[in-house]
Structures are given as structure tokens and as C-alpha cells.
Amino acid sequence: MTLKFLGIIPDTPGNNSPTIWLEEETGDLVIQSYTADSATVQEAQRVGSIPGHGTDIPPHESMIRLPAVMRQFLLGPGESA
């Protein structure tokens, strides 16, 4: 696996700041960020996604909250890092 650093939250105070990487072989994004609080999880479960899809978070997944300022590091359609 080869990760390419894309960005960290601007004006980071030190450790434990949201960070984003690109896994070069697969194109996957790897994100370190804040764990979504229970109110966010409950709202996402209330809203749902597609009909018939469960709203529980499986043990092998996590819901994170990525600060809006980090959107600058996400790739848009047709973009590559």
C-alpha cells in the first residue's frame, strides 16, 4: 500500500487533526477525522439513503465528520492527485 498525503486541516494546532490521504493503487481516500456524535448518527439513520438499505453502522465501518474546510482536499469528478 502506498499512501499519498493530500492535506491536513489548515492552521492545525498540533496532533490529532483531520488529515486525508490517497491510496495510490486503489484510488481510495483514507481519512482521519472526528467521530460522528450520536445525534449525527441518529439523524443519518432517520434520513436513510436508498430504499431497503439498512441504517445501522456495521462493526467494520465508522461514521466520521469531516470539517468543511477539508473539502478542498477531496477530488472532484475527473480529477486525479
Q: How does pLDDT run across 22-31, given as a tens digit for each residue?
A: 999 998 999 9
Calpha distance 27→39 (Å, rounded): 31
What predicted TM-score, i.e. pTM, was given to this entire model? 0.77
Q: Average model confidence (pLDDT) for the chain?
A: 88
Segment 8-33 mean pLDDT: 87
